[in-house]
Chains A and B, each alone.
Chain A
Amino acid sequence: GAVVSQHPSRVICKSGTSVKIECRSLDFQATTMFWYRQFPKQSLMLMATSNEGSKATYEQGVEKDKFLINHASLTLSTLTVTSAHPEDSSFYICSARDPSGAGNEQFFGPGTRLTVL
């Protein structure tokens, strides 16, 4: 199957700083990528849909000024958590849809654990 990478896998930052997480599709071009947040022992919550060359679509309740998403190329989407606070600590997962693949399948990155001190 298609491969999606995420970097970094873990990040610890101080409150008030910004953190950027990268999501890359390694062997296919992804016109659409998705960003999820997952709290411990809970399901994945979709934060936003990232479309190459256009603005991201945010889910209700997600602050777009706090979680900046950029999809500058067909293989890279970034999520920047601005002015991070301890409540932003979570596990962030990206996924990408391969438009040439069958069945609307999304391929997931390995996730990024963000800890804000």
Chain B
Amino acid sequence: AQTVTQSQPEMSVQEAETVTLSCTYDTSESDYYLFWYKQPPSRQMILVIRQEAYKQQNATENRFSVNFQKAAKSFSLKISDSQLGDAAMYFCAYTGTASKLTFGTGTRLQVTL
């Protein structure tokens, strides 16, 4: 079975600074997708960024980028120029051939002035 591990229950970053959230996963599949989802206090799940395993190039979406290390099964999220609106729970997630998502335990990100 696939597992997703987020080892940082909480992180804090100052506004305008950069923060990196860690995620590791375990799978025997070769074809899969990885995601970072954001869950603000409203609890609406919002897709932040997606990475296809077959792509070597790291995905980027504006201030958000990932460091995808397939051999190490690592998928970290870097948030640049952090904003107050980035404060939320962040979940790393995996999906493979079964099409269902496996989530990590989440990292609560606090953004301070």
Which residues 99-113 in B have Cβ within 8 Å of A in the complex? Answer: 99-106
Q: Is A32 a contact of B50 with CB atoms below 8 Å? A: no
Interface core residue of A43, A44, A46 (most chain B CB under 10 Å): A43
Interface core residue of A32, A91, A105 (most chain B CB under 10 Å): A105
Provide the A23-41 mask, 1 if CB < 8 A to any CB of B, else 0.
Answer: 0000000001010001000
Q: Is B95 a contact of A43 with CB atoms below 8 Å? A: no
Interface residues on chain A, size class: 20 to 34
Question: DSSP class of B's interface residues: helix, strand, loop or mixed?
Answer: strand
Provide the B25-44 mask, 1 if CB < 8 A to any CB of A, else 0.
Answer: 00000000101010000111
CA distance A107 to B37 in the complex (A): 11
Tell me if A67 counts as interface (CB < 8 A to partner B): no
Provide the B69-113 mask, 1 if CB < 8 A to any CB of A, else 0.
Answer: 000000000000000000000010001000111111110000000
Q: Is A43 a contact of B105 with CB atoms below 8 Å? A: yes
Q: Is A111 a contact of B43 with CB atoms below 8 Å? A: yes
B contact residues around A107 at 8 Å (CB): 47
CA distance A93 to B39 in the complex (A): 12
Interface core residue of B45, B46, B91 (most chain A CB under 10 Å): B45
Tell me if A97 counts as interface (CB < 8 A to partner B): yes
Task: Give min CB distance, A56 to chain B, whole Å.
Answer: 12
Q: Is B43 a contact of A105 with CB atoms below 8 Å? A: no
A contact residues around B15 at 8 Å (CB): none
Task: Give min CB distance, B41 to chain A, whole Å.
Answer: 12
B contact residues around A1 at 8 Å (CB): 47
- Given contacts A103-B33, A110-B43, A110-B44, is CB(A34)–CB(B100) below 8 Å? yes
Q: Is B91 a contact of A43 with CB atoms below 8 Å? A: yes
Tell me if A100 counts as interface (CB < 8 A to partner B): no
Provide the B47-60 mask, 1 if CB < 8 A to any CB of A, else 0.
Answer: 10010100000000
Q: Is A111 a contact of B44 with CB atoms below 8 Å? A: yes
Q: Is B103 a contact of A44 with CB atoms below 8 Å? A: yes
- Chain B residues with CB under 8 Å of chain A are 33, 35, 37, 42-47, 50, 52, 91, 95, 99-106
* 9 intermolecular pairs with C-beta atoms under 8 Å apart: A34-B101, A43-B105, A44-B45, A44-B103, A97-B99, A103-B50, A105-B33, A110-B44, A111-B44
